[in-house]
């Protein structure tokens, strides 16, 4: 089963989603991998801050980037890296859990930070912001949830499970925003491969 899952992830990463956007514009967005999944890093300009005006995290005065991700509530809100993994949390995420959105901020990115760069037009970036904003089910942050001193979690739309992971969500957002990407990217390596092929 794990071998088939990873094989399918590779196929899904190279199977085009039928969209044509990305690669031409002047707006820079980063896809940055963590230990478990990818986050979008959006420029912390007035437009982006306004879209996420309900989040105190997004208004941090020293931010250069607004970090946005999606995941399973039980898994994402308590798991910073692989050392935090527990069997019950993994099982809940694999079989189905409520989803959450996370907002954090970042300053200047060190050169050594691994990233995939998306070059978007103004219109493409507006669509991306609209899609991501639409993933928030509530504007009120989840009390007591956080992995850093600056982040916030919010209830999100849809459920997380083995076939709709946080990395699959990246591909869904890309497709809904009209950007070229793979159709199904359940693992970090699939996002990496898809971004390299379609957003090179």
Q: What is the pLDDT of residues 120-157, one digit of tens each?
A: 999 999 999 999 999 999 999 998 777 788 999 999 99
Residue 61: other Cβ atoms inside 10 A: 6
Q: Which helix (H) or strand (E) holds 39?
A: strand 38-43
How high is the pLDDT of residue 147? 74
User: pLDDT value at position 88?
Assistant: 60
Backbone dihedral angles phi then psi of residue 90, each to the nearest 5 degrees:
-60, -45
Domain span at residue 175 reads: 2-199
What is residue 200's predicted lDDT score, i.e. its pLDDT? 85
Task: Report the number of distinct structural domains present in the chain.
Answer: 1
pLDDT at 80: 54
3-state secondary structure of 25: coil
* Structure tokens belonging to residue 99: 């989803």
Model pLDDT, residue 95: 61
pTM: 0.91
Give the angle subtended at the CA of 130 by the CAs of 36 and 156, to the nearest 5°. Answer: 50
Residue ranges of the chain whose pLDDT lies below 70: 1, 78-96
């Amino acid at each position: 089963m794990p071998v088939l899952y990873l094989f399918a992830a590779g196929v899904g990463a190279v199977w085009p989603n039928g969209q044509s956007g990305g690669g031409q514009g002047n707006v820079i967005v980063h896809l940055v991998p963590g230990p478990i999944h990818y986050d979008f890093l959006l420029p912390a300009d007035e437009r982006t801050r306004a879209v996420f005006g309900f989040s105190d995290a997004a208004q941090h005065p020293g931010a250069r980037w607004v970090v946005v991700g999606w995941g399973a509530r039980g898994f994402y809100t308590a798991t910073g890296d692989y050392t935090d993994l527990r069997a019950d949390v993994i099982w809940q995420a694999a079989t189905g859990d409520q989803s959450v959105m996370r907002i954090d901020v970042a300053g200047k990115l060190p050169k050594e930070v691994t990233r995939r760069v998306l070059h978007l037009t103004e219109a493409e970036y507006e669509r991306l912001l609209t899609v991501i904003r639409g993933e928030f089910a509530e504007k009120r942050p989840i009390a007591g949830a956080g992995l850093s001193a600056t982040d916030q979690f919010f209830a999100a739309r849809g459920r997380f499970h083995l076939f709709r992971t946080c990395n699959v969500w990246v591909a869904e957002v890309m497709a809904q925003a009209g950007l070229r990407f793979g159709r199904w990217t359940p693992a970090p390596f699939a996002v990496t491969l898809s971004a390299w092929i379609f957003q090179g």
